[in-house]
A and B are shown apart, each in its own frame.
Chain A
Amino acid sequence: MRLTLRVWRQPDADTPGAMVTYGIDGISEDMSFLEMLDTLNEELILAGDEPVAFDHDCREGICGACGVVINGDAHGPERTTTCQLHMRHFKDGDTIDVEPWRAGAFPVVKDLVVDRSAFDRIIGAGGYITAPTGSAPEAHATPVPKPAADFAFEHAECIGCGACVAACPNGSAMLFTSAKVNHLNTLPQGAPERETRVLDMVATMDEEGFGGCTLTGECATACPKGIPLPSIAAMNKEWLRALRAAR
C-alpha cells in the first residue's frame, strides 16, 4: 500500500506544532497502525530526520498507552485501540491525518504524545479500595451478586486510554471517571468509600480542567472497550446520592 500521511509534529510543549506531510510505500494491510508508524520512523531515522513520537506499550489493546486521532476519530475508524487497528481498514492511495488527543487537560508533550497524568490524579482521588495488604483474601469470602459483578466488570474494562476525552467536543472525562466509579462503587469491596470516592473523583476531574458532559455520545462511540453512555447517568446518580448521604 502507498499512503500519504499528514502527521502532527510539535518538538515540545512550548513550540507551536503543525501538520507535516509524508509519503510512505510498501505498507502491508496486515500491519497495525503503530507498525505503519514504526515503518515511517525507520525511514525518517535513515534520512536523518527526527522520528515521530507516539505512546505505545503492550500493543495488545489492553494497556491503554497508545492512542492517536486518525482522520478525526480517536483510535481511528474501528472500535479498537490504535495498536489493534489494522491497515486493511485503509485503501491504497489514502491520505490519513494523524493528530494527538486534543484537550486542555491533556497538553501535548511532543508530536503525538500527550500528558495524561490528570487521569492518574483522578484515580488518586478515589479510584482504589481500602483493604489490608498481605495474603490474598479467600475469593468466596465476600459474595458478589451476579448482576453487580457483570456491571462492575463492564466498567473495569476501561484501560484509561483517554479516547473519550479526545472524542468529546468539551474535552470531558465523564466517561472515564464514571467507568472507575461504577466499577468500584458496585462491588462490596468498594462500599466503605462509596460516597467519598465519587465526590472526590468528580471534584478532581473538575479541578483538572476537563469540560462538562453535554451528552453528545462521542465518548462512548470512541471507547475501544465499549464503556456505554448510560455509565455517565449511573455516576450522576451515585454523585447525587453521595451528596445527600455524606452529611
Chain B
Amino acid sequence: MFMALATRGTDHRPSMTRTLWGSTIGKKTVMAVSGLIMLGYLVAHMLGNLKIFFGPPEFNGYAHWLRTLGEPVLHYEWALWIVRTVLVVAVVLHAVCAYQLSRRDIAARPSKYVHKRPRAAYATRTMRWGGIILALFIVWHILDLTTGTAHPGGFQPGHPYQNVVDTFSTWYGNAIYITAMLALGLHVQHGFWSAAQTLGAGSATRERALKTTATALAVALTAGFIAVPVAVMTGVVS
C-alpha cells in the first residue's frame, strides 16, 4: 500500500532545547517548572519562618543549621549556595520567559475592542504587575535581611531573630512585606493552576482539585508569611 507521507515530519527536526525555547508552549513549560521550583522553596521558607514563634534560640539555631546543612559532605554554607544558585536560575528563566511571552501576547492583539468589559479574574489580570512587584520585593528583601545593606538599625549577621524584629518595627517594612505577600498569594493562585495546565496535568475531572490546591497554597503561603510581621506588630514576637 502506498501512502504519501508529505508531512514536515520527514524533514530534519531542530533539537529538543531549540524547539522548547522557540515555542510558546515550551517557554510556558520553562515558566511552569521554574515557578514550581520557587513555589517549593517558598513553602519551606514559610515553614522555617514560623520557627520564630518558638523564640530566639530556636530561630537563630535553625538559621545556623541551614548553613551547616549537608556537612561534612558539603562545606559550611555550600548547601545554602546550591539552593541560591538554583533559585537565581529559576527566577531569571521565569522572568525572561514572562517578558518574551508578554511582548508576544501584547503584539498578538494590536487593536483593542471599542466596547470594553471586565475580562478574567483579578489574579489572572495581575500576573504581570504582580510578578514585577515580587521581583522588586525580592531585591529589597535580600538587601534587608540577607546582606543587611538596607536594614533599619544595626544588622547583626547570625542573629536573624533580632533582624526580623527590627525590620517589622518600621512601618514601611511591614507595608512593603504585607503588600508583597498579598501579591504573592494572587500570583501563586493563578500560577500554580496555570503551571499544572501547561505541564498537561489539567483535565475536566481534576479541574476542581487543582483550583482548590492552588487557592489553599496561596492562602497558606500568604497567611504563613504575614503571621510574622503581624506577630511583631502585636508584640507576640519581640
* Residues of A in contact with B (beta carbons under 8 Å apart): 6, 8, 19, 69, 71-73, 97, 99, 102-105, 125-126, 130-132, 168-172, 193, 195-196, 199-200, 202-203, 205-206, 209-218, 228-230, 232-241, 243-244, 246-247
Write out the residue numbers on chain B whose beta carbons fall within 8 Å of the beta carbon of A215: 124, 190, 193-194, 197
* A236 and B199 contact, Cβ closer than 8 Å, known pairs A172-B105, A193-B7, A218-B120: yes
Write out the residue numbers on chain A whose beta carbons fall within 8 Å of the beta carbon of B202: 229-230, 232-234
**Interface segment, B19-27, B48-56, B150-158, B180-188?**
B19-27
- Chain B CB count within 10 A is highest, among A200, A209, A234, A239, for A239
B119 near A243 (CB under 8 angstroms)?
no
In Å, the complex CA distance between A104 and B106 comes to 9
The smallest C-beta distance from A240 to any residue of chain B, in angstroms, reads 6
**Interface segment, B109-117, B132-140, B227-235?**
B109-117
Write out the residue numbers on chain B whose beta carbons fall within 8 Å of the beta carbon of A239: 23, 25
In Å, the complex CA distance between A235 and B29 comes to 13
A243 near B16 (CB under 8 angstroms)?
yes
The answer, among B7, B116, B198, for a CB contact under 8 Å with A236, is: B198
The smallest C-beta distance from A95 to any residue of chain B, in angstroms, reads 10
Interface of A is mostly: mixed
B108 near A236 (CB under 8 angstroms)?
no
What are 19 sample pairs from A and B whose C-beta atoms fall under 8 A apart? A72-B117, A126-B7, A126-B8, A130-B4, A130-B5, A169-B109, A170-B109, A196-B7, A200-B9, A211-B104, A213-B28, A230-B207, A233-B197, A233-B200, A236-B28, A236-B197, A237-B199, A243-B26, A247-B16
A69 near B197 (CB under 8 angstroms)?
no
B200 near A234 (CB under 8 angstroms)?
yes
B7 near A212 (CB under 8 angstroms)?
no
B199 near A102 (CB under 8 angstroms)?
no
Residue of A nearest to B9 (CB): A196
The answer, among A19, A193, A217, A233, for a CB contact under 8 Å with B114, is: A19
Residue of A nearest to B100 (CB): A212
- Given A132-B3, A216-B119, output 4 extra A-B contacts at Cβ < 8 Å: A168-B109, A196-B9, A236-B25, A246-B13
In Å, the complex CA distance between A172 and B194 comes to 15
In Å, the complex CA distance between A46 and B166 comes to 79
B115 near A212 (CB under 8 angstroms)?
no
A195 near B9 (CB under 8 angstroms)?
yes
B23 near A202 (CB under 8 angstroms)?
yes
B109 near A233 (CB under 8 angstroms)?
no
In Å, the complex CA distance between A168 and B120 comes to 10
In Å, the complex CA distance between A158 and B216 comes to 35
* Residues of chain B in range 1-19 having any CB-CB distance to chain A below 8 Å: 1-5, 7-9, 13, 16, 19
